[in-house]
Structures are given as structure tokens and as C-alpha cells.
Chains A and B, each alone.
Chain A
């Protein structure tokens, strides 16, 4: 695992992507810091973090797109997979390297509240809990990028997929609120989700029949439940969207509330995607 970790970390900084990633993050943070805190003389660094949660949509694909896809493309996975190292350790090594690259700009971001501190009293706990949330949110996005990179051998495709998924997740609460909270609107939304689910399933398994059966099953289940107990559907879409919305989990921290359940949420989602990555790499040996 150490060998993989070291090589990955080095490759980010012998190439351009590690620098590009850090530079982009720091540029955006610096820009918002200047505008929000310095120009407007605001002591709330947490709000800077709150308004730049979009950076990951662009920065994360840059970093994660090559992680596993490039190995497959260059056939170097044949070296790694035939070495006496388990798939779990390979994936963990790669993920930790990603997190480490991301950790470096985070350390630099930690200096901003100190700069502000020179000009007066500022709420440090609020600022640092926001940075912690920023770090955890970033790690979650990296795990999603890692997973999507394991699905393809084309780094560009991995980047586009990661961008699309993170962007969709960024907007998911907004999309949820387009639907009314009435049960029939929710039912319509659930049917659309079932359809989307079937498409993803088809892309993963390439089996049209299985995807069709899956869609039919989900659709029937939803229709039956809707006919029997329509009240179950009230506000369902909003609840589903809320559960999927990772960005929203930062809000409490930005307002200075240290919410343990949100930390657990970030850690669980990251662990889930790392686990899925391991499965996806492992599965390729069997197909």
C-alpha cells in the first residue's frame, strides 16, 4: 500500500494535475476571501467556505480522472494486480494519495482565519469547523471521483462522468423543490428516478432485458404503493433529494454547529464509494 501511495502522490506532483488542483482551489478561496472578508470587512470566514462549495465540481474530476482509468489504459494495472498486494490496499493507497494532495491546500486555507485575526476578533471555531467540513466534503467528492474512474479506461470519460455526477448532486435539492410536495408529483418523480436507475443499470450490465425488468419492478412497486397509501408519497421527492444532497451537510458547520451526524454522513458516503471502487476493480477480473 505504501508503494502505491508514494508513487501516486509523486505522480500528481511530477505531472501538472496536483499543482493545477491546488492552484485552482487556492485561487477560488483567495478570490472569495478578498471579496467577502477583506473588501467587505466581514469576520465570517465560514461564509467564504460556504460560497465556494462548487469548486469541487471542477477540481475533483481534474484530480481523480486518471486514478484508475489511466492504469487500465496504460496496462499498468497488470503490474499492480499481479503484485502481492490486495485490491483493497491498492484502492486505499490511491485514495489516501488523493486525500493527501487535497490536504495540502486545506492546510494553506487554515492560514486565512489567522490573517483575518490580525484585524480584529473573529469566530475561530466557526471558521475552522467550516474548513473541517470543507475537507470532509472534498474527501467525499474524491471518493465519488475515484469510483467513477474505476468504471472506464478513458480518463476523459471519467472526468466528464465525475463532473456530471457532482454537478447533479450540487443541484439535487433544487431539482427536488421543482416538484411539488403533493403525493402525485412525488409519484411522477419516483417513476423518473426508476427510469434513470434502469438506464444506469443498463449501462453497467449491458443487459436490456434485465434493465427493463428492473424498471418494470420498480415502477409497479411504486404504482401499487401509490394506489394503496398515497400519503406515503407526500414530500417524498424532497426527502430523497435531501438525503442525496452532500453539499447541504456543510451548512451546519458553516454556521458554527458541530454536527456529528453530518461527519458520520461524510465518512459513510466516502467509505461506501471506496468500497464500491474495490468491488468494481475486483469485478473486472471476473468478467
Chain B
């Protein structure tokens, strides 16, 4: 269990993390979501005891990480943004070093090394120098390093950044597998990744927590999140009154009305998440005003995310330093999103094909050596 109280980090005048309060229960998978520079990495560095908070405290299984760091750190495995690897060591040497560093008992080391290498898929690269393996494998070694000693809590900072879609899926599967037995916190600026893997999402913007909820409930957060667009033939006042009488309807907008054809285009907003299409059909057919077109809209998680982190973008524009790449970053997020979704489809469509590709990938990895 992780308890975070009033966690704050200031660098001079800049507040990177501002009064975070949240609790992660055992066995939960939590996603930190926020645009670049929102304070995700800083928060993770404080959770793992790498940075000291300016204010507030972090309790790991009831132990304060600043007061009793040795005991608290034993329960944490951490994969930072850049995997902390020694390029001149082989993968096996490196993992053995990490085991000794994390005080895995000597008798268990051999066994655990084999187990971890099997889990993460590192069997083929065990005796290769880290500087010679591909980026995807380096990320895996980083992940392997984080689960050495099988700590209760595993913290992963952008575990899939810089990987190709296939590798992203592989790492994501591994995280899902780990989530069955461990408490996991992972960060990302890619929404679909967090939504796919995590039980709860913590949205950070400008160092502040703007939301902490399950993906489903997050989706149902904002007011009027579902709407129905209608094209109805008939008298506009009669139609409007009929729609208003339908259950759950909040308000109706009339976008346009063609008096000659008596055709009106309406947008119906609901209170809460309701699919009112059937009721609209019966209500309008009762007064004999035919519906020509009808479509249902639901605010996506993405809309909510963008809405929640809107301030982050506008406020960073004030700072000349981040001004330059504020918008660019957002575009990049969009592109990654598309890429990722493509990869998603591929995965859903042909499981077996994906497995074949993995084999191929390993083969090419061998050639590299």
C-alpha cells in the first residue's frame, strides 16, 4: 500500500509537484497520466526515495520512505524513464548485480535469475553486453531489474516510450501479468495505454492532481456527457416539447430549422450517461413527427483527459521555456495515439500472426549479434 500525503516538490520558484494526496491499495494497477512536464517523473522519483520531497510524506506499506529508507525501499522496484543500465556489463552480470544490491538471498539468486529471464523473455540475450542489445531489449532488462526480488510495489516510468507498436504490446502484456500479483504504478502520456492496463487513472496537470478514478467513472464525470443529434420533420415547438418530456433529457438545442420543409436539426443533452434513442423514437412517433436522422454521441475518455489537462497547456504558454514545444508535444501525443490504436487492431485481429512476428523479431535479434 502506498499513502501519499501533501506531496510537494519545488525547484526554486517553480512548483513541479503540488500537494498530491492519494492512496494506492494492494494489488491495484494505477496509471499516472498527464502531458509531458506535468510532474509524473518527479512524483515517481519521490515515491521511490530518489528525490526528497519539499513537503509532505510517502508511506510505503506504512513505512515513511524518508525516515526509514532502507526498509521502505525493499518493497519497491523502479524502472525510471531511462533504464538505469551499465552498458559495459552483460545482461546476466547486470541482473546478478541488481540482485546483490537488493539483497536477494544468495541461495535464491540462480533460481530467480532464470525465472525473471523467462518471464521477461531475456533468455537469448543473457550473455550479451547491454550496449549491444536493441532498445526494446534494453527496456526489458530495465523491467527485469525492477522486478528483481519480486517487491510488492513496482513503479514504471513511461515503460513503453520509444518502443515500436509490437514491443509496446509485449511490454503491456507483461505489465498485465505482473499486475495480478503486484501493486503497480505506471506513468504515460498516452491515454489508451493507461486505460487498457490500469484499474485507476490519476491525471496530473501542472503538478496537481486533477482526477483520480477508474476509467469508467472518469468517463462519466463531466456534465452532459451524452448527446443525441436529431433531424426531425415537424413543427419545431411541438418537437421540442415532445423531446423535453422524455426522461433524463437536460436541455435541447435547435441548430437550424428549414421552414419550407419544416426540417429541424436538434441536439439533445442528457443528465448523466443515458441512451435515450428508443424513448425519443417513441415520443416523436406519438406526435407523428418522423425522425430522418439520429446519432448518439458519448464524450470519450480522451475528451475528458484533454479537458482536465487544458490548463497545463495554456499555462505553460506563459513560460517562454516550454512555449516552444508545448503544442508540438500535443501533436506527438495524437500521432502516437493513432499508431497505438493501429497496433491495437492488429493485435485483436490476428493473435497468431503477432506471435509469429515475435519469433521473427527474436531471429533478427540473433543476427545482430
Contacts and interface: CB of A to CB of B under 8 A. Distances in A.
A79 interface: yes
B325 interface: no
A135 B81 CA distance: 41
A84 B69 CA distance: 7
Contacts of B100: 2-3, 6
A11 B131 CA distance: 14
B153 to A, nearest CB: 11
A286 interface: yes
A84 B80 CA distance: 16
Nearest to B70: A84
Given A76-B84, A78-B80, A285 B51 contact: yes
B82 interface: yes
B125 interface: no
A214 B11 CA distance: 24
A80 interface: yes
Interface string B72-88: 01101010111011111
B50 A85 contact: no
Contacts of B84: 74-80
Contacts of B48: 78, 82
Interface size class of B (residues with CB under 8 A): 20 to 34
A115 interface: no
A84 B78 contact: no
A285 B65 CA distance: 13
Interface residues of A, number: 24
Interface string A24-45: 0000000000000000000000
A86 B69 contact: yes
Given A6-B100, A75-B82, A285-B51, A82 B88 contact: no
B126 interface: no
B85 A85 contact: no
B145 interface: yes
Contact of A75 (B73, B80, B102): B80
A74 B130 CA distance: 13
B97 interface: yes
A86 B49 CA distance: 11
Interface in A1-23: 2-4, 6-7, 11, 14-15
Contacts of A285: 50-52
A3 B48 CA distance: 20
Nearest to A75: B82
B98 A15 contact: no
B88 A84 contact: no
B67 interface: no
Given A7-B97, A78-B50, A83 B86 contact: no
B88 A15 contact: yes
A97 to B, nearest CB: 13
B145 A79 contact: yes
B78 A82 contact: yes
B76 A82 contact: yes
B88 A14 contact: yes
B66 to A, nearest CB: 10
A74 B70 CA distance: 23
A4 B88 contact: no
A85 B52 contact: no
A81 interface: yes
Interface centre among A7, A15, A74 (most CB of B within 10 A): A7
B79 to A, nearest CB: 9
B101 interface: yes
Contact of B70 (A3, A6, A85, A286): A85
Contact of B49 (A4, A75, A81, A286): A81
A150 to B, nearest CB: 16
Interface string A70-100: 0000111111111111100000000000000
Interface string B31-60: 000000000000001001111100000000
Nearest to B157: A78
A2 B101 CA distance: 8
A4 B50 contact: no
B85 A74 contact: yes
B366 interface: no
Interface string B97-112: 1101111000000000
21 contacts: A4-B101, A7-B86, A7-B89, A7-B97, A14-B88, A14-B89, A74-B85, A75-B82, A78-B78, A79-B78, A79-B98, A81-B50, A82-B49, A82-B73, A82-B76, A83-B101, A84-B70, A84-B102, A84-B103, A285-B51, A287-B11
Given A6-B100, A75-B84, A76-B84, 9 more contacts: A3-B101, A78-B45, A82-B49, A84-B69, A84-B71, A84-B73, A86-B70, A285-B52, A287-B11
